[in-house]
Amino acid sequence: MTFRRRRICAALLASFAATAAWAQAAASFPNKPITIVVPNPPGGVVDSSARLASDPLARLLGQPVLVDNRGGASGNIAYQMVARAPKDGYTLLASYSAYHVGNPAMFARLPWEQKDLVPVALIAAATNVITVNPALPVKDLPSFVAYLKQHPGKVNYASQGNGSLSHVGTELFDQTTQTEMTHVPYKGSGQAIQDVLGGQVEVFITTPPSVMGHVQTGKLRALAVTSKTRHPMLPDVPTTAEAGLPGFELEAWVGLFAPAGTPADVIAKLSEGVRQVLAQPETRKRADTLGIEPRYLGPEALAALVRKDTEYWGRIIRARNIRAD
């Protein structure tokens, strides 16, 4: 046997051995705790979505599923951590759409790339609600748009920070309605909500759970939810389409991703587990209390969603010259 043929045979044997090892690992998976890394602090949509799936998934798989919050750097700390983790299915990322599809357009350089992560399953989607301080002389979405056209640049809107979904989403609103508001970035939603309540800024587009109590007491006015259907927490608030703005929708999503190279059988087992736990009535009931919608997509469908949203949000981010903190 020639040296070249020996090298080819050795490579084939190594490949077969690796395939056999992967198959064996997938068959016994999981045999130790799984960690879901969350790119945000505790609380909020991403953390809530991860925890919505973690407990029932642990019961289904027979191993603990731990949530590890690694906030900071617009999610890039967590994304880099998972991208470099062992490719065995035991370290997963609860990926936030604003980071996953927005960061590649907002940062000149990233310590991770989308190709470093492979989709496992979509967990949840969350709509937003357009809220204003009641002192603003508008009663509904059409009168709000008309007011903005009459006062270009005079109305201030809050966001959770430069590059956040509330920032990009409100810029999309301005683009859709051909209006112009002035951006006031905050570091998170807490102080942003307080300043909208106090009248220092007039507008905040955010998730319903964070403002529902203020809407119910009349301290904030909800003009519309940014989804195709009404939100269970705010059943009397119309959708943007019902309110006369069918071209504007704004949803965030949270999905599970694994390091690229994780065995396909492991991905399939995790994805099927997520599908089963999201279909459980108790999971859906808990999701209602959190203000999020359980929504399953498998790996291929989630990959297609990533491609579509990357192109869509990237176009908006570049057109509005949005940069993250």
Which structural domain, as residue segments, surrounds residue 210? 129-225
Residue 24 lies in a domain: no
Task: Tell me which of 16-25, 55-64, 88-97, 187-196 is least confident.
Answer: 16-25
Q: pLDDT digit string (tens) for 124-142?
A: 999 999 999 999 999 999 9
232 vs 222 pLDDT, higher one = 222
Both tokens of residue 41? 């602090």
Per-chain mean pLDDT for the chain: 92
Q: Is residue 92 part of a domain?
A: yes
Q: Say yes or no: 111 and 256 in one domain.
A: yes
Which structure tokens are listed for 317? 């981010």
Q: Please check whether residues 158 and 292 belong to one and the same domain.
A: no
96: helix, strand or coil: strand
Q: State residue 43's pLDDT score.
A: 84
Q: Using alpha carbons, list the distances in angstroms from residue 28 to 25, 87, 256, 265.
A: 5, 15, 21, 11
Sign of CA dihedral 207, 212, 218, 222: positive
Q: Is the pLDDT of residue 26 over 70?
A: no
DSSP class per residue in 143-210:
HHHHHHHHSTTTSEEEESSTTSHHHHHHHHHHHHHT---EEEE-SSHHHHHHHHHHTSS-EEEE-HHH
Q: Are residues 214 and 186 in the same domain?
A: yes
22 pLDDT tier (thresholds 50, 70, 90)? very low
Q: Is the pLDDT of residue 288 over 80?
A: yes
Whether 53 maps to a domain, the answer reads yes
Q: How confident is the model at residue 9 (pLDDT cuts 50, 70, 90)?
A: low
Average pLDDT score over residue span 297-324? 94
pLDDT band for position 31 (cuts 50, 70, 90):
very high
Domain assignment present for residue 134? The answer is: yes
Residues 133 and 204 in one domain: yes
In a domain, 3, yes or no: no
The predicted model scores a pTM of 0.85
